[in-house]
Amino acid sequence: MSVSVQREDFDVGLEYARFVAGRTDVGGVALFVGQVRAESGQVAAMTLEHYPGMTERQIDAIAAEARARWALDACRVIHRYGRLVPGDRIVLVMTAASHRQAALESCHFLIDWLKTKAPFWKYEESETGARWVEAKETDDQAAQRWRR
């Protein structure tokens, strides 16, 4: 299990290569890459503020829960902060397991929970001004469906 919270971009191919290097026990690797999306040209840039220390702590806790719920061989999360423009990568979640369902479900779980539990706040700049983005009800719902 490995978590990085960083300003710098990450290389998806390199991260994947390191993740599976020398492993023959892995049957499936699920990856999710979140990117900044230009909504009909509205978002010119966004800045992700985070709470250093708490961010790593919360992501560690979420990753530990994923490992408790699914039989995972490995798990990696990278989350960026700072100013980002459309097309920039924001987050990488990567899970490896013997079976594809475990890899896919845990990856989905991690990204849903990151969205509601990791202390990041999004400040969006657009043509009409800048604002702090409000939390969405739908994200809470997406995370809630993993409750049991």
Partner 1 sequence: MKILYFAWLKTKTGLGEEDVPQLPAGVTNVGQLIDWLAGRGGGFAEAFANRGLVRAAVNQDYAQPDTPIRAGDEIAFFPPVTGGVG
Q: Which residues of the chain form contacts with partner 1 (CB under 8 A)? A: 27-28, 34, 37, 48-49, 51, 53-54, 57-58, 79-80, 90-91, 98-100, 111, 114-123, 132-136, 139
Q: Give the N- to C-terminal CA distance of the chain in Å, as an integer.
A: 23
> Least distance (Å) from partner 1 to the CB of residue 13?
20
* Nearer of residues 13 and 52 to partner 1, judged by Cβ: 52
- Give CA–CA dist 121/47, Å, rounded: 8
* Nearer of residues 9 and 49 to partner 1, judged by Cβ: 49
- Chain positions 31 to 90 lying near a copy of itself, rule: CB under 8 A, are 31-38, 86-87
Specify whether the CB–CB gap between 33 and 106 falls below 8 A: no
Scan for tokens 């191919």, then name that residue: 13
- For residue 139, which of 111, 103, 101, 99 has the smallest C-alpha distance? 111
Stretch of 13-21, 49-57, 120-128, 129-137 lying at the interface with a copy of itself (CB under 8 A): 13-21
